[in-house]
Amino acid sequence: MTLRITTKEEYQLAYEKSVSSPRTFWAEQADTFEWFEKYKEVVEWEFDTPSVKWFIGGKTNITVNCLDRHLKGRGEQTAILWEANDPNAESISLSYKELHSRVCQFANALKAQGVGKGDRVVLYMPMVVELAIATLACARIGAIHSVVFAGFSASALASRVDDATAKVILTADGNNRGKKHIPVKSIVDDALKLGCKSVERVIVLNNTGLDVTWGDRDLWWSDAIKGQSIQCSPEPMDSEDPLFILYTSGSTGKPKGVVHTCGGYMVYAEYSFKNVFQYEEKDIYWCTADIGWITGHTYIVYGPLLAGATSMMFEGVPTFPDAGRFWQICDKHNVNIFYTAPTAIRALMACGDEWVEKYDLSSLKVLGSVGEPINEEAWQWYSEKVGKGILPIVDTWWQTETGGIMISPLAGITDTIPSYATLPLPGIQPCLVDAEGIEQPAGEAEGLLCIKHPWPSMLRTTWGDHQRCQLTYFSAFKGMYFTGDGARRNADGAYRILGRVDDVMNVSGHRLGTAEVENAINEHEAVIESAVVGYPHDIKGQGIFAYVICKDGAANDPEFKAAINKVVVKEIGPIAKPDKLLVVPALPKTRSGKIMRRILRKIAAGEGDQLGDVSTLLNPEIVETIKSHAADV
């Protein structure tokens, strides 16, 4: 078991040691895991190409550390506690022993379908226990899992399946989300029509009993596991073998497949989980994310299970059947550690305090926040209403690419400051640079957030395109990983994340590229050109504002907006629907033809009177036209 810091002084000492002797520091953590073969070197790295390797030569399997090593001491303890969408349905509790058996059984089912080490398996599933089981089953046999959030469209799914050249898709007949019943299998069928030539099998979980159409490649989950043994020896994995691919949006082009590897990810997942949340034996831990995002990978599945925790999984949504659902679940299961997103906090805050006050939340010890900057008002509400003014809130900053939490208070150990993620975890060396890449001296500063030294769970590459990884993260500033975020640091070294400085939006904690949404909008036959920007939104953090140039006939009316929404839902999914749409005769451009997004962002934010000098534009007159119409949408 990795070590847990328990005092501020220990944090300070651990941090200093992690900087002065990173190899010794990380070896101490790594040595608490089970390895089939011990690593020979702790780390070798350079950030130019880049090449980063941790625990070199080590052989392990993350599922041995998540499951097998707990069987003796906590076999009967609940590993996964599942709460259904329907509040009247029974919860499911899987002990470590049961989870082990079911993971092994499904691993054998995958093997029987010809899946082996290095093969890619896409999981497009509801938040049911089988999703966690199947994720771990892939890891058991060394197959590379790629979980695709089940809210993405058939087209988005197909492009991920194609990029990963997945051999198998795992899905379910349907998905219960709030009042909705989503026909998941039929979305997979549509994706298969769009491409997915690499797919040999689709394994379908009998989940909601929804009618499905059946094809040659389809196999019911229940048939796949029939007769399969509940023992499956773990595939020995090199530390640097890929564990999973997770697609995420960037400022250009299609989403990229962020690749995480077995050894380093494992070490950092447990280490960060235990320290940030100050997990103690027997704590009931609940992260409300979906396993389709990195938060679910690291802090529903791997981190908690590595630590031997009880991890809750929730099928539903925060507002079904009412805005008290989260708190009802905390009360029902005596949740001790609760980790959610600012967008959920703001949405629930808007529903009124009575929903929180109705339930007994006295079991709670630690509150967490993730995914976007948490504004001071939401932080205070969370602290006072949910935390009764006494619980620590850990505002955790990290990214799909970082694999685990990078900057965050350690609950109850280091200080919290509203809207600050505060201090880096031991082993993490952030810095702020200016546009030229000059590092700001220690102390108070503002700049672009970079990381100077590798950490075990950092991305290794982007699937199938290493150059893209180099260009996106390692080319802006030599010798540093560039996060894409801007940040401010106070005199005590605490960081406040200001948000993305690139063309990436964060809508309700979901990451979307402006280019990705524009490409979707441009699919509409009436659209000539579009420009998408994020703007401040009370609940979502950022909303999507789309400026669209159209062929004759299209107008600023609800029908056209609905038609655009339809293509966006088809190309990406409901999360990418523009909140505001404005048909414009032209877009403000520089003389070299580049869209001036800065101006569009200001107008979208309602700050059209603070544009400054626009006279150098190719078409300065358009600014007034856009401004006068923007107020109406």
| Binding residues for ligand WT7 (CB under 6 A) | 248, 293-295, 370-373, 395-400, 421, 483-485, 497, 499-500, 506, 511
Greatest alpha-carbon span in the chain: 74
Least distance from C-beta 58 to ligand WT7, angstroms?
A: 26
Select 43 or 497, whichever has its Cβ closest to ligand WT7. 497
State the burial class of residue 613 (Cβ atoms within 10 Å of its Cβ: 0-12, 13-18, 19+): exposed
Name the residue nearer to ligand WT7 (CB basis): 39 or 299: 299
What residue type is 390 in one-letter code? I
Residues 6+ apart with CB under 8 A from 438: none
Nearer to ligand WT7, 237 or 449 (CB): 449
Note whether 616 and 598 are within 8 A (CB): no
In the beta sheet, which residues pair with residue 43? 54
Question: Are the C-beta atoms of 294 and 246 separated by less than 8 Å?
Answer: yes
Nearest approach in angstroms of CB 451 to ligand WT7 is: 12
The pair phi, psi for residue 167, each rounded to 5°, is -90, -35
Cβ 283 to ligand WT7 shortest distance, Å: 21
Q: Which is nearer to ligand WT7, 173 or 485 (CB)?
A: 485
Measured between alpha carbons, how far is residue 87 from residues 155, 314, 315, 329 in Å? 33, 11, 10, 9
| 376/624 with CB nearer ligand WT7 | 376
Nearer to ligand WT7, 257 or 484 (CB): 484
Q: Which is nearer to ligand WT7, 159 or 298 (CB)?
A: 298
Least Cβ distance, residue 552 to ligand WT7 (angstroms): 39
Which C-beta is closer to ligand WT7: that of 170 or that of 294?
A: 294
Minimum distance from CB of 343 to ligand WT7 (Å)? 11
Task: Give just the sign of the alpha carbon dihedral 583, 517, 509, 587.
Answer: negative
Shortest distance, position 393 Cβ to ligand WT7, whole Å: 11
Query: From CA 245, how far away is CA 146, in angstroms rounded?
Result: 5
Q: How far is the CB of 374 from ligand WT7 (least distance, A)?
A: 7
Q: Smallest distance from the beta carbon of 463 to ligand WT7, in angstroms?
A: 15
Identity of the residue, 248 or 340, whose beta carbon is nearer to ligand WT7 in the bound complex: 248
Centroid of chain to Cα 202: 25
What 534-538 contacts at long range (C-beta under 8 Å, 24+ apart), as own/partner pairs, is: 534/505, 534/506, 534/507, 534/601, 534/604, 535/580, 535/601, 535/604, 535/605, 535/606, 536/605, 537/507, 537/579, 538/346, 538/350
Torsion angle in degrees (nearest 10) through CA of 457, 461, 467, 469: -40
CB of 276 closer than 8 Å to CB of 421: no
Q: How far is the CB of 51 from ligand WT7 (least distance, A)?
A: 22
Query: In terms of CB distance, is 449 or 554 closer to ligand WT7?
Result: 449
> Measured from the CB atom, is 33 or 149 closer to ligand WT7?
149
Give CA–CA dist 533/50, Å, rounded. Answer: 31
- Torsion angle, alpha carbons of 372, 376, 379, 385, to 10: -150
Least separation, in Å, of the C-beta of 442 and ligand WT7?
Answer: 22
Helix (H, G, I), strand (E, B) or coil at 470: helix
3-state secondary structure at position 79: strand
- Residue 459 is given by DSSP the state -
Cis peptide before 424 (omega within 30 of 0): no
Closer Cβ to ligand WT7, 336 or 542, answer by number: 542
**Smallest gap from residue 246 Cβ to ligand WT7 (A):** 9
Q: What are the DSSP calls for 315-346, one per residue?
A: -S-TTSS-TTHHHHHHHHHT-SEEEE-HHHHH
Give 65 or 248: the residue with its C-beta nearer to ligand WT7: 248
Q: Is 449 within 8 Å of 245 (Cβ atoms)?
A: no
**Helices 22-30, 262-277: crossing angle, 10 deg rounding:** 90
